[in-house]
Amino acid sequence: MKVLQVSAAYKPAYIYGGPTMSVAMLCEQLVKTGCPVHVYTTTANGVNELDILADEPVNIDGVTVTYFKRITKDHTHFSPALLKTVWKTAKEYDAVHIHAWWNLVSVFSCLIALWHKVPVIVSARGTLSPYSFNNKNRGIKSVIHSILGKPLLKRCHFHVTSNRESEAVNTFGAKSIINIPNFVKLPAPRQSTEKPVSETFKLIFFSRIEEKKGLDILFRALSTVKVSFHLTIAGTGNEDYIDHLKLLAITYNIQHKITWAGFVNETKFELLRQHHLFVLPSYDENFGNAVIESLSVGTAVLVSEGVGLAGYIRKNNFGWVCQHDPQSISDAIENIAQHEQNRLQQIRSTTPTAIRCDFDEDGLTKQYLDMYQQIISI
């Protein structure tokens, strides 16, 4: 069973956040089982390009990856060389797995694979949600979707990572929808799950910094929180938007209660462990890798209804779910800080084991292999 993975960006392009990590982990786990995997990607790294060999297969942590140069430096990621290679080689594979949508690599690779009658799996990774449709370039997306996207997607199989995402893509009439969680890198087990000691309630936002993450809502909420708190923001994003958020923090007079930690990778689990509560107030999130990373070290989470894992959090009592408004977030933080200390400790003690079970790499790998086999057999 040979599966071609097509992703407009691949590690070390960590600027794109969780999706890049998840795609890489999927490929690495498949290779460990002996499943032949080849990744076609571009040299995209935000507005810059990766300093990496292009147009030749290279080994990236055991995975065969070919990086192709792109001629656009934005989210269209147009790469004629990549598309030409897909055209030449698509028939060599049993299936083509495309990650994300709304870029020319994904859309045209899908078209080429279907033209050659190769089964296509699309992991939209949040790009086909109502929020994505309506947030940016709505008119252009509507035209592209009507002319090309919708007819293509009806002929594809969908891989989704949450019930929320399944509901979002259900309207496209896909051949099948299969729900399997993302792979998430987990820390080595630790015997001690000590509670952070601090008179100040320590909050952490750990994610890519962009508009859909809801930091503007969080800042407004924190301006009314009366308990002593400090917020750590770990992540990177567009510098102009970060500057806008810093001015917003000054407007709400909370700038002295915020630490901008920047991009954190190697020490992320220790950083998460040092906080009482992880907060993700996203307008839209198909999954939320950092939610699982936080729970894996026992740090409870507060997420909005827009986060794909909200149902999982609620069902397992791993934290709290709030609405998309400042008052709901503010009330939740006040309540947790003042009245939920025992529950915070219980989550810190029990969730690491539960997360390790639910996101076991061998179990998830089998689910993905079964998905491929099921689709190929149709």
Per-residue HEC secondary structure of the chain comes to CCEEEEECCCCCCHHHCHHHHHHHHHHHHHHHCCCCEEEEEECEECEEECCCCCCCEEEECCEEEEEECCCCCCCCCCCHHHHHHHHHHHHHCCEEEEECCCCHHHHHHHHHHHHCCCCEEEECCCCCCHHHHHHCCHHHHHHHHHHHHHHHHCCCEEEECCHHHHHHHHHHCCCEEEECCCCCCCCCCCCCCCCCCCCCEEEEEECCECHHHCHHHHHHHHCCCCCCEEEEEECCECHHHHHHHHHHHHHCCCHHHEEEEECCCCCHHHHHHCCCEEEECCCCECCCHHHHHHHHCCCEEEEECCECCHHHHHHHCCEEEECCCHHHHHHHHHHHHHHCHHHHHHHHHHHHHHHHHHCCHHHHHHHHHHHHHHHHHC
Q: Name the least confident of 24-33, 164-173, 353-362.
A: 164-173
**Domains of the chain, first to last:** 3-183+360-377 (3.40.50.2000), 201-358 (3.40.50.2000)
Average pLDDT score over residue span 119-147: 79
Q: Place 55 in a pLDDT band, splitting at 50, 70 and 90.
A: very high
> In Å, what is the CA distance from 56 to each residue of 41, 67, 81, 262, 302?
11, 7, 11, 33, 44
178 C-beta neighbours (distance < 10 Å), count: 18
Alpha-carbon distance 360 to 323, whole Å?
A: 30
45 and 74 Cβ atoms separated by less than 8 Å: no
pLDDT at residue 199 in the model: 84
Query: Half-sphere exposure of 378 toward its Cβ, with a 13 Å CA cutoff?
Result: 16
Q: What's phi and psi for 132, nearest 5 deg?
A: -65, -40
pTM score, whole prediction: 0.90
pLDDT at residue 198 in the model: 78
Q: What is the pLDDT of residues 160-217, one digit of tens each?
A: 999 999 988 888 888 999 999 999 989 988 765 566 767 899 999 999 999 999 999 9
Q: What is the pLDDT of residues 287-343, one digit of tens each?
A: 999 999 999 999 999 999 999 999 999 999 999 999 989 999 999 999 999 999 999
Q: What is the pLDDT of residues 245-273, one digit of tens each?
A: 999 999 999 999 999 999 998 899 999 99
- The per-residue pLDDT of the chain, averaged, comes to 93
Q: Place 139 in a pLDDT band, splitting at 50, 70 and 90.
A: low
Q: Place 138 in a pLDDT band, splitting at 50, 70 and 90.
A: low
pLDDT at residue 191 in the model: 63
128 and 286 Cβ atoms separated by less than 8 Å: no
